[in-house]
Amino acid sequence: MSNSYFQPVSGLDLPRFAGIPTFMRLPHIQLNDPKIKDVDIGLIGVPWDSGTTNRSGARHGPRQIRDASSMIRAQNGATGVRPFESANCADLGDIAPNPADLMQTMSRITQFYNDIHSALIKPMTVGGDHLSSFPILRALGKQKPLSMIHFDSHTDLFDAYFGGTKYTHGTPFRRAIEENLLDPTKIVQIGIRGSTYDSEDRDFADSVGIKIYPIEELHARGIEQIMREACEIVGSSSTYISYDIDFVDPTFAPGTGTPEVGGPNSYEAIQVIRELKNVNIVGADLVEVSPPYDHSGNTAFLAASIIFELLCIMTTNET
Ligand code: MN
Ligand code: MN
C-alpha cells in the first residue's frame, strides 16, 4: 500500500496546467533525500541522445514528457488499476549527461542505476535515445542476465556504425549480449520493420536464439496471441521491458528520429503493455521521443500514456 506522500497532485486540487512539471505530477525525490528509502518505482529522465546516428533531438524527451504527463490521471480507465496506490512512485530527476562525452555519460548512468538497484527501486526510465538502455542494463543485469521484451521498429542488434563505432542507438542490445547482461534465448523483439542496409542484425539474432516478431506477423496474428507467446518465452524470469516509441506508426508518433511506416496505432501501442500479464518486470524504459519532430505534441502524450500503462502493469504484477 502506498504512502499518501507519494500520490500525484490531483488536478482537482491544483489544475493540471499549473505547478512545476514532474513525471505524472509525482513528488521529486533526489538520491540524498531520506524519503528515497520508501520509493518502490523511480521515474528517471535520461536527457541524452549522443548515440543517435541520424536525426537527433531525443535529449529533449524527458522534459517534454514530464509536461505531457500532466494529462494523466490516477486511475486506468480500462483496467481500473490505480498504480500510485499500490506502490510508492516518485520522479527521481534526470541523469546529468555530458553531451560531448559518450563514455563518461554511460558510466554516470550505470553508477546512478547501481545506486537505484541497491536501494531496491525499480526504474522506469524516460529517454533519451536507445543507447541509454545499455548502461542501465550494465547495472540491472550484472548479477544475472535478464530477459527482455522489446518493442521497436528496429532490432538495435547491429555490431558497429561508421566503420567501427560500437556504441550507438543501433547497437545497445548487441553490446548487452556480449557483456552477458541479457539472455538472448529470452529476448523477444516485436514490431520489427522498415528498409535496412543488410540483414546482419537478423542473422545475429538467429545465431543466438532471439525471437523476432516482425510487424507483418503482429498484424496478421494479432496482439493477444503474439503477446501470449512473448510472455511464455520470458516465463517468470526477471524481465526488462524496452519500448522504443518508433514501434508505433509515425501517424501517431511522428516525433522520433528513425520513423518506419506500417506500425501499430496508439490504441495497439498501449494494448501490448496490458498483455504483459504475470511478467516479472524488473525495470522498463520508453525511449526515442524527439520533441523537435513532435509538432503536435502527440508523441510525448502517447509516451506519457504508455509509461502510465507500464506503471499499471508493474504494480499489478507485483501484488
Ligand atoms: Mn530502438
Ligand atoms: Mn527504433
Report CA(155)–ligand 1 centroid distance (Å): 7
CATH code, domain with 164: 3.40.800.10
Number of domains, the chain:
1
Q: What strand order describes the sheet that includes 280-287? A: 89-94, 41-46, 122-127, 280-287, 238-244, 146-151, 182-192, 211-214
Ligand nearest to the CA of 170: 1
- For residue 66, is it within any domain? yes
Residues 34-61 have pLDDT tens digits of 999 999 999 999 999 999 999 999 999 9
- For residue 180, is it within any domain? yes
Contact yes or no for 281/314 (Cβ under 8 A): yes
Ligand nearest to the CA of 287: 1
pTM over 0.95: yes
Report CA(226)–ligand 1 centroid distance (Å): 20
Ligand nearest to the CA of 134: 1
- For residue 226, is it within any domain? yes
**pLDDT per residue rounded down to tens, the chain (319 residues):** 678 999 999 999 999 999 999 999 999 999 999 999 999 999 999 999 999 999 999 999 999 999 999 999 999 999 999 999 999 999 999 999 999 999 999 999 999 999 999 999 999 999 999 999 999 999 999 999 999 999 999 999 999 999 999 999 999 999 999 999 999 999 999 999 999 999 999 999 999 999 999 999 999 999 999 999 999 999 999 999 999 999 999 999 999 999 999 999 999 999 999 999 999 999 999 999 999 999 999 999 999 999 999 999 999 987 5
Range of 232's domain?
31-318
- For residue 23, is it within any domain? no
Distances (CA, A) of 122 to 41, 89, 139, 173: 5, 9, 12, 20
Contact yes or no for 181/131 (Cβ under 8 A): no
- For residue 128, is it within any domain? yes
Report CA(142)–ligand 2 centroid distance (Å): 25
- For residue 56, is it within any domain? yes
Ligand nearest to the CA of 256: 2
Write down the residue that cell numbers 505547478 correspond to.
Answer: 19
Ligand nearest to the CA of 129: 1
Report CA(133)–ligand 1 centroid distance (Å): 9
Report CA(130)–ligand 1 centroid distance (Å): 5
Residues 191-225 have pLDDT tens digits of 999 999 999 999 999 999 999 999 999 999 999 99
Ligand nearest to the CA of 248: 2
List the Cα angle 153/286/215 in 5-degree steps.
Answer: 20
Distance CA 46, CA 58 (A): 9
Q: Tell me, what amino acid is at 2?
A: S
Report CA(192)–ligand 2 centroid distance (Å): 8
Distance CA 164, CA 215 (A): 29
- For residue 147, is it within any domain? yes
- 5, HSE (Cβ side, Cα atoms, 13 Å): 12
Report CA(244)–ligand 2 centroid distance (Å): 6
Report CA(154)–ligand 1 centroid distance (Å): 6
Report CA(27)–ligand 2 centroid distance (Å): 31
Report CA(122)–ligand 1 centroid distance (Å): 21
Q: According to the model, what pLDDT value does residue 304 have?
A: 98
- For residue 7, is it within any domain? no
